[in-house]
């Protein structure tokens, strides 16, 4: 009982801090550079797995003993997949190395897909429903199997995801589940207002319209009597069980995703996730935590406090405060804002610098970059050296400038494409325009715009530096020639 009360109290503190968003004044914004490899810390690091040979989380390579704590059929590091959101308790250093004391993994959802919209060829987004909850897919989501055509209604999947401000979830990983495990479901979310019935004859509640029966259910970290408090305090719950006639027969109920981010015995924490709701008075919510910014908070190059917004994927490193909030020491952008697609120039691959060129775009691979395939042909974990064998790739990343001012793309995700077409396609900001000479520059690539080039709903003279454009182009001789230019008006 004491353990249950302790866990519940810590979970309540995560939610209670959200009320602080509307109080306390602020202004201005800190700035500064992020040291490579992050800050020195001892505590917990929570984020998508990006690599192995030990395990990479949030840009840190953690040495492990291989064991994983999970009740979702995963007991060893070898069973983890890139994109799965993992909690690491341990310590990490400024050189990008760390020591893991404990690895913990938990699915956000397991169940059947319904209402799948497909994945847009325009922006890589899609959506489906799982046990009543909406799950969003984007270009940073790792899909196994990865081809959009292989995901369809009725498929039984496991999802590792972040909560969004509107109550839906943003998927970091989606993987197929087969065999006997395909009958064991998992759901998380807020209990619907007014839906909790807890008497001797009926024990039910609803999560976003999905009915849950908890008669005879085991409770993990909480007591049955805590359900009303969780509902009142808007704390998500997690339900595991099986589906019978459309109702989840709960086997176990506990605290939801927020427990991933609970304070350990130490104060340091680093974690990734999308901002949930508005940024007010230098405070915002993310993954159930309230993050505080002060004048000492550092932001990575080209990114600042003014850029923080609802839904933006970021990485936060900081310290827990006495009230359960996190004071951010450093904040890093993890939201891809540019893209390039095509065949890699093999002679440009530099394993030492971990860079390559793709259609003239310099791509930097980091410890946080996820390298994956768009199909299930290989079960082998793909690494940088496999790039030589890729027919084509799509890179989603963040536009950066190096010390000399050269624009490059810091890769968030590199996905192998076996059906790569001729030519290249990129999306990014216009940094230079010379319509008289027929030249535009995007992602550091100077593109010759011929008289035969197609402009979608715009002319060259109407373009401005800073506009976000999509360009289809080819390599010819020593240069690159734009065949189609489209202004992406709605991009942020």
Tell me the pLDDT tens digit for each residue of 309-322: 999 999 999 999 99
Write down the mean pLDDT value for the chain: 87
Per CATH, the number for 338-487 is: 2.40.50.320
Mean pLDDT throughout 388-395?
A: 91
Token pair recorded at residue 343:
């065949």
Q: Taking the model in full, what pTM does it have? A: 0.89
Model confidence pLDDT, tens digit, residues 273-302: 999 999 999 999 999 899 999 999 999 878
- pLDDT value at residue 425: 96
pLDDT greater than 90 at residue 469:
yes
pLDDT greater than 90 at residue 140:
yes
Residue 437: other Cβ atoms inside 10 A: 9
Overall CATH class of domain 2-31+262-333: mainly beta
- pLDDT value at residue 10: 53
Burial 224-252 (b: 16+ CB within 10 A, else e): eebbeebbebebbbbbbbebeeeebbbbe
Q: Which residues lie closer than 8 Å to 222 by C-beta, 6 or more apart?
A: 4, 7, 8, 230, 253, 254, 255
Residues of the chain with CATH 2.40.50.140: 109-183
491 band by pLDDT with thresholds 50, 70 and 90: very low
- pLDDT value at residue 400: 94
Residues of the chain with CATH 2.40.50.320: 338-487
d(C-alpha 239, C-alpha 227), whole Å: 12
Residue 166: other Cβ atoms inside 10 A: 12
Q: Which residues lie closer than 8 Å to 364 by C-beta, 6 or more apart?
A: 353, 354, 355, 400, 408, 409, 410, 411
pLDDT greater than 60 at residue 22:
no
Minimum mean pLDDT among 26-35, 39-48, 400-409: which range?
26-35
What is the topology classification, in CATH, of domain 109-183?
OB fold (Dihydrolipoamide Acetyltransferase, E2P) (2.40.50)
Model confidence pLDDT, tens digit, residues 367-381: 999 998 865 444 567
């Amino acid at each position: 009982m004491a353990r249950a009360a302790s866990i519940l109290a810590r979970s309540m503190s995560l939610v209670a801090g959200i009320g602080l968003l509307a109080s306390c004044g602020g202004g201005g914004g800190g700035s500064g550079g992020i040291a490579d490899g992050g800050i020195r810390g001892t505590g917990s690091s929570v984020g998508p797995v990006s690599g192995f040979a030990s395990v990479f989380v949030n840009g840190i390579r953690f040495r492990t003993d291989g064991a994983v704590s999970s009740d979702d059929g995963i007991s060893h590091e070898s069973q983890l997949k890139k994109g799965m959101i993992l909690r690491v308790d341990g310590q990490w250093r400024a050189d990008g190395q760390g020591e893991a004391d404990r690895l913990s993994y938990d699915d956000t959802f397991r169940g059947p897909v319904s209402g799948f919209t497909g994945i847009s060829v325009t922006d890589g987004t899609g959506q489906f429903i799982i046990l009543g909850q909406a799950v969003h897919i984007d270009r940073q989501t790792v899909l196994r199997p990865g081809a959009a055509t292989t995901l369809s209604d009725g498929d039984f999947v496991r999802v590792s995801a972040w909560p969004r401000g509107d109550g839906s979830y943003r998927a970091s990983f989606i993987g197929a589940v087969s065999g006997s495990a395909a009958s064991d479901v998992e759901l998380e979310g807020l209990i619907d207002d007014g839906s909790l019935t807890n008497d001797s004859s009926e024990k039910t509640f609803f999560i976003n319209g999905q009915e849950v029966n908890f008669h005879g259910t085991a409770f993990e970290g909480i007591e049955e009597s805590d359900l009303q408090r969780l509902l009142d305090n808007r704390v998500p719950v997690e339900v595991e069980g099986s589906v019978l006639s459309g109702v989840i027969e709960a086997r176990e109920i506990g605290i939801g995703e927020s427990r991933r981010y609970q304070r350990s015995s130490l104060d340091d924490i680093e974690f990734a996730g999308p901002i949930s709701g508005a940024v007010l008075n230098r405070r915002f919510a993310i993954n159930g935590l309230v993050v505080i910014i002060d004048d000492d908070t550092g932001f990575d190059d080209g990114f600042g406090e003014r850029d923080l917004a609802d839904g933006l994927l970021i990485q936060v490193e900081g310290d827990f405060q006495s009230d359960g909030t996190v004071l951010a020491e450093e904040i890093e952008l993890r939201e891809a804002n540019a893209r390039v697609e095509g065949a890699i120039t093999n002679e440009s691959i530099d394993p030492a610098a971990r860079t390559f060129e793709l259609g003239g775009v310099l791509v930097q691979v980091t410890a946080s970059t996820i390298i994956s395939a768009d199909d299930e042909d290989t079960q082998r974990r793909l690494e940088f050296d496999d790039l030589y064998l890729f027919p084509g790739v799509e890179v989603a990343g963040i536009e950066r400038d190096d010390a000399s001012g050269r624009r490059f793309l810091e890769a968030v995700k590199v996905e192998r494409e076996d059906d790569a077409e001729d030519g290249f396609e990129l999306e990014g900001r216009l940094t230079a325009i010379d319509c008289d000479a027929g030249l535009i520059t995007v992602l550091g690539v100077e593109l010759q715009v011929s008289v035969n080039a197609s402009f979608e709903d715009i002319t060259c003279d109407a373009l401005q530096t800073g506009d976000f454009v999509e360009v289809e182009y080819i390599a010819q001789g020593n240069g690159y020639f734009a065949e189609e230019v489209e202004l992406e008006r709605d991009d942020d």
